[in-house]
Amino acid sequence: MMLPLLTFASGVIAGAIGVRMVKNAKAKADPTIADLKSVDVKAAAREGAGKAQSAVREAAVTGLLAIERTSAGLRSRLATPVEEAPVAAATAEAEPAKDDAAEPVKTEPTPPASPSGAA
């Protein structure tokens, strides 16, 4: 009855020992991993935050420069007068006026009077 429980417990213990052995082997192979306790965590966090802040600042500057470039292009398009557009607009306005005068005015026919006289 206790056989499955003993098998499970021995598996957990063997797994824990295996994990510790792997960690020790990595620490011996790479001295920087073994030196984690001597690293100043607060200084490393400040350095990482400083790098992130400078990266965000650079991204913001790049975005603002792109907006500035786009708005300058649009400003130059709006500031330059287009001389062909008023001539085309005047021609387009003159033509419909001629068409309106040539068309007869339409009137609606009056309905016939009802024979009963009741409306």
Q: Global pTM? A: 0.35
* Beta strand extents in 55-115 (DSSP E only): none
Q: How far apart are CA 119 and CA 116, in angstroms?
A: 8
Query: Is there a contact between 33 and 26 (Cβ–Cβ < 8 Å)?
Result: yes
Phi, psi angle pair for 39, to nearest 5°: -75, 135
Give percent helix, percent strand, percent coil of the chain, each to the nearest 5: 75, 0, 25
- Tell whether the model's pLDDT for residue 72 goes beyond 80: yes
Token pair of 78, please?
């709006």
Q: Name the residue with higher pLDDT: 93 or 23.
A: 23
- Tell whether the model's pLDDT for residue 23 goes beyond 80: yes
